[in-house]
Structure 1
Amino acid sequence: MADTALVIGGTRFIGRHVVDDLLDTGYDVTIVNRGTHENPFADDEGVRHVEGDRRDDTDLQAAALSVDPDIVVDCVAYYPEDVHVATDIFADADGYVYISSGSAYGVEEIPKREGETELCECTDEQATDDSHESYGPRKAEGDREIAAAAEAGVNAMSVRPCIVYGPHDYTERLDYWIDRVLNHDRVVVPGDGQNLWHRGYVEDVASALRVVAEEGEPGEAYNVGDRRLVTMEEMVDLIAEAADTEVEIVHAGERELAAADLSADDFVLYREYPHVLDTNKLSALGWESTPLAEAMERTVAEHRESDRDGSEHDPGRQTEERVLGVLDTL
């Protein structure tokens, strides 16, 4: 009889890939969510769906009793209380894994290591706040809930992804850059193109969650991200290679961007100070990441089939043309 897995969430970006990974590795899979998003597994007889609100303790308890899962992957725990409740309800599971975040780290250092790099503090107000500013503190407090649950005997672990990219990414962060490469010969990259923001391919994040559920140490956190990092310029080159096209990367400094009322921060996935996560602890469990060229090929191929263009992150092509005009006169 196959092991059973319960995925809390399971229909959108990371959760969707978690379900695929679990199916591919032989699990019987059930997803529990409110049903507010399209279910890509609606016609898949191998995936059972239980409707319920993860923030409703009764719904979550009903799912636990109905499924009796061997492992639980929690994709939608956004508040510390979510983790506290879930680790109580699923205390008998062989493995409960919480998706935390690289944003849980509270200091800037290179690289950020589990158990060494300081986590964000979280006030009572932040613990229940839903703003972007409280996201890191809330995730860090969720990690502390994992540690506390493990102290009480629960096989609970957390996984801290960096920026995640890949097929079906509703955030459309990388879609902006793919769209630029596919539709323009010249692509403006802020600064010298050497800034570094660690990214992780979504299928690798999904497999990391399963590996940690199976092999992780209770109470521990595991960073996940591409084993080889690339700069922003190298990222654009990877996209172009995957798309079988060529683009001219045009670097724009602070002065050139300011001429068009832009700054480097107006470009999605730009980060002035490098964000790098040490992934050796996860690799020691037997996890591996997908080669970057292969990961980008899959990402670009799915982008072509989607209607995503990253326009919500677009500083405006006409504005970029003003930057290019300034650079062309230098």
Structure 2
Amino acid sequence: MPPQTPASPTPAADAIVSIQGLTKTYAGGFQALKRVDLDIRRGEIFALLGPNGAGKTTLISIVCGIVNPGEGRVLADGHDIVRDYRAARAAIGLVPQELHTDAFETVWDTVRFSRGLFGKAPDPAYLEKLLRELALWDKRGEKIMALSGGMKRRVLIAKALSHEPRILFLDEPTAGVDVELRREMWAMVSRLRENGTTIILTTHYIEEAEEMADRVGVINKGEIVLVEDTRALMRKLGKKQLTLQLQAPLAALPAGLANDALALSADGNELVYTFDAQAEDTGIAALLKRLAEHGIEFKDLRTAQSSLEEIFVNLVKAPRPAQEARA
């Protein structure tokens, strides 16, 4: 059995997945995960973001029992993934990124077989409902090898949900699928959450995380950089820009207005003021007063706020102090 760290800190009362001090080092000394602590709440949609090689897939694979853990402890719906593997795995459904399927099986047979693997009694009515929701019912008698890539992706989702798991991992579920299927999948994810299923997803489509996820976690170089409510993160780390369209172009900023937060467009027709989205006093009123004092008039204004993608890029690029990384 791999070494275990003490079961401290105690997982949150509403955590359906609790990861404590998880460290994973592969042969050759590569440390894929570094003392990861993470609680995922029951019934939420949690987006795990990170660049390639950050540790996302390793983390998911350990929780799902595909990769052996190193140091640390993981609980899935209260079950230790090492000591109580079967119960923990039965609580989890996984939709992998790769399209690995039983090519010569029919859709119906492979989904029915997946349900049986977890010891679930046959339930044709449930499987029919599942296949209908995924627009697979008309394909139930077809061999998987004959399906399109999008349909194969639907089959993977059906297999993951065949045993009615309480936790569903989606590893890049919309990679390479068309817009219509992407919308259908996210509608299905919303329905699953409404029925109490906890969804953990990784995605390169950060706008999906921004729209769908209750919370966002960012992992980089094997460490959890940040976990935050999505909306709170947007408020806390987002920057706003006020763009003023000038009545007359400026050749340059007057000396009294020059500062890091204020920039003049290349054609001199716009002033762009960047400020903290959560600051109570952004200085906008003072800025407009100073513009008037310099005889600068504007004819229109607009505001914009940074996206989750911009926040993510800044978080990944920012160096972390050693003491913070260990906290």
TM normalised by structure 1 equals 0.27
TM-score, normalised on structure 2? 0.27
Higher fraction of helix = 1
Q: Considering only CA atoms, is the larger Rg found in Structure 1 or Structure 2?
A: 2
Between Structure 1 and Structure 2, the one with more strand by share is 2
